Amino acid sequence: MPRAVEWIKAALLEVQEYVRMLAKTGRGVVTRPFYYRDVVFQFDAIGVGSLTVVLLTGTFTGMVLALQSGITLDQFGARSMVGRLVSASIVKELGPVLTGLMVAGRVGSGIAAELGSMMVTDQIAALRALGTDPIRKLVVPRILAGLIMVPVLTIISSAVGMVGGWIVTFGVLRVASSVYWNSVVQGLYIQDVWMGLIKPFFLGFAIVSIGCHVGLRTKGGTQGVGRATTNAVVASSVAVIAVDYFVTQLLITLMY
Amino acid sequence: MARSLPIARPPLLDEALGPGGPIVVFDQVHLSFDDKVILRDVSFTLRTGHTKIFLGASGAGKSTILRLILGLLKPDAGQIFVNGEQVDNMSEDDLMGVRHDLGMVFQEGALFDSLSVRENVGYKLFEELNWKPAEANQRVEEVLGFIGLAEFIDRRPSELSGGQRRRVAIARAMAAKPRILLYDEPTTGLDPITSITVDDEILKLRDLEGVSSILVTHQLRDAFYVAEHTANRNGGEVTFERASPEKSDEAEFIMLRDGGIAFEGNAGELRAVAARDPYIQAFLS
């Protein structure tokens, strides 16, 4: 029984610290000092740095989706409808979620490892001693970059996903390009596009804020950094899937 | 034109905290983590231009005192005054102002490994005090020249030896000319020759720049060296010699034991007490 109580106390403490970090971040965004150069740097590191992995996953997801739905649709003699399936699933779900998972693996872990090692080597304390608020200097730029760049990456990923779908539909399934692209457009409703654009803001925020929180709570030397990195990837990946569900539920209630 | 340093203080405060004034004051400070008492009713006063040397076993709370001065930790009870301001209940935003007059040399240096030596040393000037790049670079070069590492300005911290990293950390702490410097085990893990060069930097800052210092260490050799030597400038050259008895009285030792102050006094008194107290004797031998 005492162990359960300890566990609950520790969990509540994590939540409290997470919320406090978010509150300080909110204040850091709207008040000075604001570290512009770090913001630009993080936009590059998080956005441009994740481009390759997002392009690759996006393309291959579109390609495999076209292959799989081609087989299923053939049973109904509806191969020409491949485009609808590809566009609807990519824009609404796979684009945001897979981009989110990729960014969680690449960026969430990187942030936790970087902030975690700064923590255990006293660099965070040194920042504070030099008069810099680590939230403003380290967390605010990363969260802004996650908030803006994950949606941008998602748009790119969804776009190349549909191109990947076209490559397979045209090259393997032998469906004419015009039929595919017509079908792609028919499969999409404006609500779907909104959904695909709104969700990644939440996912990007969740991934980066979890990475920062876990990194800044690192203790226990290099072993602690390893643990923090693993925790950040696991927590932000689960968060991507969970947040995706809840935001989808909310948007369906609001828009459809 | 170069900026005026250090940061301006109100004239009355400046007078009160002039030579011999109480620049850092601990009054009955108590701190515990969970059930473990770290500091118990610790009181002391650091006077402007003087040195406090904290000795004690690992975990005796020496580094904690430095973190309390910086406001990185808050005490459970008691009052702490730095530069005339009470820091024990100050908000993080207000503490940033107090920290502008404090320099801290962390154990192992804590240099930012993503930045070059130049960016590390000039961090506060570039990022917080918003100096013009030309002025800041000039100051960085001046400070690195002072500690004799001018040729390493464009290296990364990972390319430096342990002793060089420690000296860069001192350079970073002094770049904005703080009135108070805090050293956390600056010589631990260094060979005796390199330790003396680090100690000499501490002497130069104290005796030539008038910086008040707090030194936390368990390297007795370095503690006594800093207490009993002085730096002088003869023409362009800096020399180190044995301090007069009055000068070495300005360096006070404080030995911490189980969270409390076990001894407070000058080097001579410490040696005298060691003859009677087995714990201090064990520590000194």
Measured in angstroms, the CA of A123 and the nearest CA of chain B are apart by: 5
Chain B residues closer than 8 Å to A131 by CB: 96, 99-100, 124, 128
Question: Which tokens hold the place of B277?
Answer: 């107290």
Confidence of residue B236 (pLDDT cuts 50, 70, 90): confident
**B87, B112, B119, B188: best to mutate for the A interface, most A CBs within 10 A:** B112
**Is the predicted pLDDT of residue B1 greater than 50, yes or no?**
no
Q: Do A123 and B112 touch (CB under 8 A)?
A: yes
Chain B residues closer than 8 Å to A132 by CB: 96, 123, 127-128
Confidence of residue B6 (pLDDT cuts 50, 70, 90): low
The three state secondary structure string of chain A is CHHHHHHHHHHHHHHHHHHHHHHHHHHHHHCCCCCHHHHHHHHHHHHHHHHHHHHHHHHHHHHHHHHHHHHHHHCCCCHHHHHHHHHHHHHHHHHHHHHHHHHHHHHHHHHHHHHHHHHHCCHHHHHHHCCCCHHHHHHHHHHHHHHHHHHHHHHHHHHHHHHHHHHHHHHCCCCCHHHHHHHHHHHCCHHHHHHHHHHHHHHHHHHHHHHHHHHHCCCCHHHHHHHHHHHHHHHHHHHHHHHHHHHHHHHHHHHC
Query: In the predicted model, what is the mean pLDDT of residues B23-50?
Result: 87
Cβ-nearest to B72 among A35, A118, A129: A129
Chain B residues closer than 8 Å to A130 by CB: 99, 123-124, 127-128, 172
Which of the residue ranges A53-57, B169-173, B263-267 would you say has the lowest mean pLDDT? B263-267
- The percent of residues above 70 in pLDDT, for chain A, comes to 100
**Is the predicted pLDDT of residue B233 greater than 50, yes or no?**
yes
- The percent of residues above 70 in pLDDT, for chain B, comes to 97
The three state secondary structure string of chain B is CCCCCCCCCCHHHHHHCCCCCEEEEEEEEEEEECCEEEEEEEEEEEECCCEEEEECCCCCCHHHHHHHHHCCCCCCEEEEEECCEECCCCCHHHHHHHHCCEEEEECCECCCCCCCHHHHHCHHHHHHCCCCHHHHHHHHHHHHHHCCCHHHCCCCHHHCCHHHHHHHHHHHHHCCCCCEEEEECCCCCCCHHHHHHHHHHHHHHHHHHCCEEEEECCCHHHHHHHHHEEEEEECCEEEEEECCHHHHHCEEEEEEECCEEEEEECHHHHHHHHHHCHHHHHHHC
Query: In the predicted model, what is the mean pLDDT of residues B38-65?
Result: 86
CB atoms under 10 Å from CB of A34, counted, come to 15
**Is the predicted pLDDT of residue B211 greater than 70, yes or no?**
yes
Length of chain A: 256
CB atoms under 10 Å from CB of B245, counted, come to 11
User: A42 and A142 in contact (C-beta within 8 Å)?
Assistant: yes
**Is the predicted pLDDT of residue A40 greater than 70, yes or no?**
yes
Could you tell me which residue, B211 or B277, shows the higher pLDDT? B211
What per-residue confidence (pLDDT) applies to B17? 75
Confidence of residue B2 (pLDDT cuts 50, 70, 90): very low
What per-residue confidence (pLDDT) applies to B228? 87
Query: In the predicted model, what is the mean pLDDT of residues A171-175?
Result: 86
**Is the predicted pLDDT of residue B5 greater than 70, yes or no?**
no
Instruction: Determine the Cα–Cα distance for residues B151 and B126; give it in Å rounded to an integer.
Output: 20
Residue of chain A whose alpha carbon sits nearest to that of B123: A130
CA pseudo-torsion sign B8, A122, A18, A15: negative
Could you give the count of Cα atoms lying within 13 Å of B151 in the half-sphere of its Cβ? 0
CA–chain centroid gap for B141, Å, is 21
What per-residue confidence (pLDDT) applies to A80? 85
Q: Do A123 and B102 touch (CB under 8 A)?
A: no
Instruction: Determine the Cα–Cα distance for residues A137 and A24; give it in Å rounded to an integer.
Output: 12
Q: Do A130 and B128 touch (CB under 8 A)?
A: yes
Q: Do A130 and B111 touch (CB under 8 A)?
A: no
Mean pLDDT score across all residues of chain A? 91
Cβ-nearest to B110 among A35, A123, A137: A123
Query: In the predicted model, what is the mean pLDDT of residues B265-284?
Result: 80
Could you tell me which residue, B161 or A23, shows the higher pLDDT? A23
pLDDT in tens, B120-146: 998 988 888 888 888 888 888 888 887
Interface of A with B in 130-149 (CB under 8 A): 130-133, 137
Backbone angles phi, psi at B21, to 5 degrees: -75, 155
Q: Do A122 and B102 touch (CB under 8 A)?
A: no
pLDDT in tens, B173-197: 888 888 899 999 888 877 888 788 8
pLDDT in tens, A61-78: 999 999 999 888 888 888
**Is the predicted pLDDT of residue A113 greater than 90, yes or no?**
yes
Question: Which tokens hold the place of B21?
Answer: 């004034």
Could you tell me which residue, B13 or A167, shows the higher pLDDT? A167
Confidence of residue A200 (pLDDT cuts 50, 70, 90): very high
| Residue A253 Cα distances to A12, A91, A199, A239, angstroms | 30, 18, 14, 21
pLDDT in tens, B159-169: 988 888 888 89
- The percent of residues above 90 in pLDDT, for chain A, comes to 67
Residues of B with CB under 8 A from a CB of A: 67, 70, 72, 92-93, 96, 99-100, 102, 104, 106-108, 110-113, 123-124, 127-128, 172
Q: Do B99 and A130 touch (CB under 8 A)?
A: yes
Residue of chain A whose alpha carbon sits nearest to that of B96: A131
Residue of chain A whose alpha carbon sits nearest to that of B112: A123
Measured in angstroms, the CA of A129 and the nearest CA of chain B are apart by: 6
Report the predicted TM-score, pTM, of the whole model to 2 decimal places.
0.86
Query: In the predicted model, what is the mean pLDDT of residues B240-250?
Result: 82
Cβ-nearest to B110 among A122, A131, A133: A122
How many A×B Cβ pairs under 8 Å?
A: 52
Query: In the predicted model, what is the mean pLDDT of residues B3-8?
Result: 57
Q: Is A125 on the interface with B (CB under 8 A)?
A: yes
Interface of A with B in 172-191 (CB under 8 A): none
Q: Do A128 and B70 touch (CB under 8 A)?
A: yes
Cβ-nearest to A131 among B67, B72, B100: B100
User: B46 and B24 in contact (C-beta within 8 Å)?
Assistant: yes
pLDDT in tens, A135-159: 999 999 999 999 999 999 999 999 9
**Is the predicted pLDDT of residue B116 greater than 50, yes or no?**
yes
**Is the predicted pLDDT of residue B99 greater than 90, yes or no?**
no
User: A54 and A101 in contact (C-beta within 8 Å)?
Assistant: no
Mean pLDDT score across all residues of chain B? 84
Could you tell me which residue, A19 or B276, shows the higher pLDDT? A19
- Omega cis (within 30) before A33: yes
Which of the residue ranges A93-102, A104-113, B207-216, B244-253 would you say has the lowest mean pLDDT? B244-253
